[in-house]
Amino acid sequence: MTRGLALVLALAAPLLVACGHGGSERLEGKWKGKSAEGVSPEAQAAANAFAVDTEIDVKGDAITVITSRDKQSGTYRVVREDKSQVTIVTDKDGPTDAQTFTLVDDKTLKWNVLDGKTITFVRGK
């Protein structure tokens, strides 16, 4: 019986991993937009208003970007993750449309929206 139980556990292990939570634990949670960086001075007020109106909600491998005008949800996979950055692609992105998030600390995240243009988020409750 012990041998049979060991075989069942060995066969079930990949299923347990597959049922586990995908995505990046470091991105997990609700993030509220705080400010925009890297835009021209003329666009700064509008960019900040957009940033403050934006939220990101990450649960497992599901990501939702929410604004007062729109809500987009999808799944994602991690392409690369290191000490300070997580790079992902979503099911709606093309293979070269990776999204990079820089984790400044446990409560601050910067989303590189375009080259040199970021939105800073703070972890919500």
What domains are defined for the chain?
21-123 (2.40.128.280)
CB contact at 8 A, 45 and 107? no
Whether the predicted model's global pTM rises above the 0.85 cut? no
Whether pLDDT at 71 is above 60: yes
Give how far the C-alpha of residue 83 lies from the chain's centroid of Cα atoms, to the nearest Å.
15
* pLDDT at position 35 over 90: yes
Least confidently predicted of 4-18, 69-83, 93-107: 4-18
- Residue 30, classed as helix, strand or coil, is strand
* pLDDT value at 21 more than 90: no
Q: In the predicted model, what is the mean pLDDT of residues 19-37?
A: 86
Dihedral angle computed from the Cα positions of residues 71, 77, 83 and 85, in that order, rounded to the nearest 10 degrees: -40
Contact by Cβ (8 Å): 100, 117 = no
User: Identity (one letter) of the amino acid at 38?
Assistant: G
